[in-house]
């Protein structure tokens, strides 16, 4: 498992030879990791998903993670670009990677080992010692495992989007599935990877005891009343018992250094 976690870190550039002082970061978990390593002062720009710590929101915004522009990134004269593997579009990343600026792209599996591998990757890219942060996060995962050992598994459905009343839910190999597992819950949806729109029949058959969602507004949100009125969700044990959990999406699904705390908070909410 340790080896698999390390393989989860994807490198798409040579390591910078020297510690870089002007860093642009694209990816919420990467921003959190840089800050947790005590290197926030080196960040000169960040993408729109980087909102923790809050002080980072005062930095220049280079755009949404998947809609970056090469001009916006390179105009900040970075020495290093740290980017989530999902950063895009591909044309932008190709142009950025063709520049003289070193680019390190990082991915992590949605697991304890994946989180640790991501921290180690970022620490290495910044040429700093990540041992203290790794030890702290491992301790958090240890406490989480102890709490999980006494938790009764809960059957949970994670809804990513409800635009137009169409329910997009999380299957396997997703951040949502990973955080449910860490929180000691069972994903009520199986049989496919990624996120998929579900039929009413599939939702009823899933029979979740709890519905988990990001705390969001707009077309993708779903109020408790809308859940109760939905022809399929309204028939689930979760809706009938009013067991609906909403959490901040970046905290819940980021899989950065705060993951043990996010999973514990979800576990507590599922038990409530």
**Per-run averaged pLDDT (10 residues), the chain, 272 residues:** 39 46 96 98 97 96 96 96 96 95 92 96 96 98 96 94 90 97 97 96 97 83 90 96 96 97 97 84
CA angle 21, 27, 29 (to 5 degrees): 95
Single out the residue of 55, 23, 198 nearest to residue 125, CA to CA: 23
Q: Are residues 97 and 213 in the same domain?
A: no
pLDDT of 14: 42
Q: Are residues 110 and 45 in the same domain?
A: yes
Question: Is residue 143 assigned to a domain?
Answer: no
Single out the residue of 258, 230, 83 nearest to residue 159, CA to CA: 230
pLDDT of 164: 81
pLDDT of 18: 45
pLDDT of 20: 65
The DSSP call for residue 204 is: H
Question: Is residue 142 assigned to a domain?
Answer: no
Please state the φ and ψ torsions of residue 15, each to the nearest 5 degrees. -65, 140
Q: Are residues 11 and 123 in the same domain?
A: yes
Question: Is residue 141 assigned to a domain?
Answer: no
Q: Are residues 44 and 154 in the same domain?
A: no
Map 56-83 to HEC letters.
HHHCCECCCCCCCCHHHHHCCCCCEEEE
Q: How far apart are CA 27 and CA 10, in angstroms?
A: 14
What is the reported pTM? 0.89
Note down the domain range covering 80. 2-129
Q: Are residues 86 and 158 in the same domain?
A: no
The DSSP call for residue 175 is: H
The tokens describing 259, both together, are 């993951």
CATH number of the structural domain spanning residue 33: 3.40.50.1980
Residues 6+ apart with CB under 8 A from 2: 113
Single out the residue of 105, 136, 115 nearest to residue 1, CA to CA: 115
Total number of domains in the chain: 2
pLDDT of 130: 97
Look at residue 254 and give its three-state secondary structure.
coil
Convert 19-58 to b/e letters by CB count within 10 Å (16 or more is b): ebeebbbbbbbbbbbbbbbebbebbbbbbebbbbeeebee
Choose one of 98, 129, 160: the last residue of a domain.
129
Task: Sort 187 into a burial class: Cβ within 10 Å, 0-12 / 13-18 / 19+.
Answer: buried
| H or E stretch at 182 | helix 175-182
CA angle 27, 246, 52 (to 5 degrees): 30
């Amino acid at each position: 498992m340790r080896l698999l976690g390390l393989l989860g870190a994807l490198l798409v550039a040579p390591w910078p030879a020297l510690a870089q002082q002007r860093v642009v970061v694209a990816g919420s978990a990467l921003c959190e990791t840089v800050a947790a390593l005590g290197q926030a002062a080196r960040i000169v720009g960040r993408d729109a998903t980087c909102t923790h710590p809050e002080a980072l929101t005062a930095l220049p915004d280079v755009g949404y993670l998947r809609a970056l522009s090469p001009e916006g990134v390179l105009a900040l004269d970075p020495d290093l670009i740290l980017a989530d593997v999902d950063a895009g579009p591909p044309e932008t990343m190709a142009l950025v990677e063709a520049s003289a600026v070193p680019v390190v792209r990082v991915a992590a599996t949605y697991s304890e080992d994946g989180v640790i591998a991501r921290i180690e990757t970022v620490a290495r890219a910044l040429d700093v010692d990540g041992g203290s942060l790794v030890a702290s996060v491992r301790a958090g995962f240890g406490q989480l495992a102890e709490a999980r050992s006494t938790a009764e598994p809960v059957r949970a459905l994670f809804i990513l989007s409800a635009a137009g009343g169409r329910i997009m839910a999380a299957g396997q190999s997703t951040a949502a599935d990973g955080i449910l597992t860490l929180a000691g819950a069972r994903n009520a949806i199986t049989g496919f990877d990624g996120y998929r729109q579900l039929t009413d029949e599939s939702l009823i058959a899933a029979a979740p005891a709890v519905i988990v969602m990001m705390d969001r507004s707009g077309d993708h949100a779903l109020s408790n009343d809308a859940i109760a009125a939905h022809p399929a969700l309204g028939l689930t044990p979760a809706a009938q018992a009013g067991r609906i959990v909403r959490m901040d999406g970046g905290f819940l699904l980021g899989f950065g250094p705060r993951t043990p705390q996010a999973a514990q908070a979800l576990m507590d909410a599922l038990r409530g």
